[in-house]
Chains A and B, each alone.
Chain A
Amino acid sequence: MSVDIAFVGDTLLQLLRALPTTLLLFAASVAIGTLLALLLVWMRVCEVAVLRHLARSYIFLFRGSPLLIQMFLLYYGLSQFPEVRQSPFWPVLRDPLSCAVIALALCTAGYMAEIFRGGLLAVPPQQIEAARAAGMSGGLLARRIIIPIALRSCLPAYSTEIILMMKATSLASLVTVYEVSGVAQRIIAETYRTLEVFLCAALIYLVLNFLIVRTLAWVEQRLSPRQPVTASPTTKKYALSVRRG
């Protein structure tokens, strides 16, 4: 099995040119998804029953169906309606990249909302009682007690979700976005040289994955300096059980 260095080099170059798109998809969808998830989790624990049920339905819908079908529904399904095409949202939905970002963000928001809720549930009720007894209430209680503890508890699962989002960006290639997987598949379809192209693309994703895992491990360490930190956050049992749809 001879390795064609020129071909591999050329392939790597083409793939790297698509890398900024992958990174953009990743960063934008994680950012928007996190914000949306915060809103969702607030709705989920809110006293208003309607909001609670809305949030639960949203989470069930987006965690229970494949991202691929959600993306197709958003990209092809919505554009079928003339009302959507004339609405002010159309410039955003028309562009494949922003449409893909929205689909990714909506999906991850569902998972992240559950992760945040898991973090909230992990706050020991004794601490809340003690804080209330000491006179803390409302915003102060949230800021000093609930949020720091919740954040620290859900960080491993949140890291897992972020890594999964990096992989999910590859699905954007199925709605005409030129990101790394899409370019890789195009090269395979035209040159039929699967292994070399696959290795190049896999290498890029593994390097990205490594960088993200290291960054998240550093963040984890900064937030909890006294606890030993593992670089593979998914060994925590509840990280996996929280992913159940």
Chain B
Amino acid sequence: MNNNKTRFAACSLMLLMTSVSLTTHAKEWDSIQIATEGVYEPWNRTLPDGSFDGFEPEMAKVLCERMKARCTIVAQDWDGLIPGLKAGKFDVVMDALAISPERRKVIDFSRPYTKAPATFIALQSSAIDLGSGTLQLQGNPERDTPAVEALRERLKGKLIGIVTGTVYSKFIRDQFGQVATIREYKTPPEPLMDLKNGRVDVVFEDLGFLSGELQRGSDSGLVLVGPAINGPIWGEGEAFGIRPGEAALKAKLDAAIDSLIADGTISQLSRKWFKHDFTPPSQ
């Protein structure tokens, strides 16, 4: 392996790779690349042969039929979804992405296809009592703080596990950062793992993910605790993330989602995968 030859080979290889990937996107959107995590069961999960299923991939299949587009799904770690979208590696992010003002600053969203509440999960044996029922929060710190006062009391000195960079992590850090210890993880299965082995006392995630976990591991001794928190705090709901300015893509996605909600497909899929109906309220 001669140094000169190596250099030449390297240069030509790089040129080849760059030129091969210089593709601009079809404006007609008949071929769409969707990115998801693949480890956020039951929203999306990876099968042993590398393909995906779950609420979102199944919904995407129907959606793409309605849109008359050919969709491919690729996997991406959570914290790389939005950067990858902006870098043009894929066209759509599909990973229970909640619409939030911070995210709106950098990307655009389709209309929401679900609106899931979030709640806590803990080990049954730990006998944590955080109350029950539902809690509507506005996303406004002054209004919300008194509403979660009771929760704050009960979570004093506890260890809370969350995933970084979610709308939930900001909420937990803002409201409970002073009274409890927060542990931040990079992928959703990790805080659950640490919950089961006793490293954290309680995990906060969306109800879809948590009920999926309860369905799968019926003997793990986990139980939902605390109120189901919903309301404008999580934005309008979960939607597809798209690059700013892609009006044609947004229109296509919105129309397809509208039709899926109208004919009850979303409701049916939601009940199949989450055992709850997360259809967003009509806008």
Residues of A in contact with B (beta carbons under 8 Å apart): 76, 79-80, 85, 94, 96, 174, 176, 178, 182, 185-186, 189-192, 194
Is there a chain A Cβ closer than 8 Å to B141's Cβ?
Answer: no
Docked-complex contact B185 and A176, CB < 8 angstroms: yes
**Can you give 10 contacting A-B residue pairs, CB < 8 Å?**
A79-B193, A79-B199, A85-B198, A94-B198, A96-B183, A176-B183, A176-B184, A189-B79, A190-B170, A194-B83
Bound complex: CA A182 to CA B183 (Å): 11
B82 cross-chain contacts in A, Cβ below 8 A: 192
How many residue pairs between the two chains, A and B, have CB atoms under 8 Å in the bound complex?
39
Residue of A whose beta carbon sits closest to that of B163: A189
| Chain A to chain B: the 5 pairs with minimum beta-carbon distance, closest first | A189-B165, A79-B197, A176-B183, A192-B106, A189-B79
B197 cross-chain contacts in A, Cβ below 8 A: 79-80, 85
Q: B151-194: contact bitstring with A at CB < 8 Å (1 yes, 0 no)? A: 00000000000001100001000000000000111100010011
Chain B interface bracket (under 10, 10 to 19, 20 to 34, 35 or more): 10 to 19
Is there a chain A Cβ closer than 8 Å to B102's Cβ?
Answer: yes
Given A94-B199, A176-B184, verify A186-B193 contact (CB < 8 Å): no
Residues of B in contact with A (beta carbons under 8 Å apart): 79, 82-83, 102, 105-106, 164-165, 170, 183-186, 190, 193-194, 197-199
Name the residue in A96, A178, A189 with the highest tally of chain B Cβ atoms < 10 Å from its Cβ. Answer: A189
A219 to chain B, nearest CB (A): 36
Bound complex: CA A189 to CA B78 (Å): 10
The A contact surface, by secondary structure, is helix
Docked-complex contact B164 and A185, CB < 8 angstroms: yes
Neighbour of B193 across the interface among A76, A85, A174, CB < 8 A:
A76
Given A176-B185, A192-B106, verify A186-B164 contact (CB < 8 Å): yes
Given A185-B79, A189-B165, A190-B165, verify A174-B199 contact (CB < 8 Å): no
Residue of B whose beta carbon sits closest to that of A182: B184
A144 to chain B, nearest CB (A): 46
A176 cross-chain contacts in B, Cβ below 8 A: 183-185, 194
Bound complex: CA A83 to CA B252 (Å): 55
Given A79-B197, A189-B79, A190-B170, verify A174-B106 contact (CB < 8 Å): no
B105 cross-chain contacts in A, Cβ below 8 A: 192
Docked-complex contact B102 and A190, CB < 8 angstroms: yes
A96 cross-chain contacts in B, Cβ below 8 A: 183, 199
B199 cross-chain contacts in A, Cβ below 8 A: 79, 94, 96
A94 cross-chain contacts in B, Cβ below 8 A: 198-199
A91 to chain B, nearest CB (A): 11
Bound complex: CA A192 to CA B170 (Å): 15
B245 to chain A, nearest CB (A): 17
B170 cross-chain contacts in A, Cβ below 8 A: 190
Q: Assuming A176-B184, A185-B164, what are 7 further A-B pairs, CB within 8 angstroms? A: A76-B193, A79-B197, A79-B198, A96-B183, A174-B186, A186-B184, A189-B165
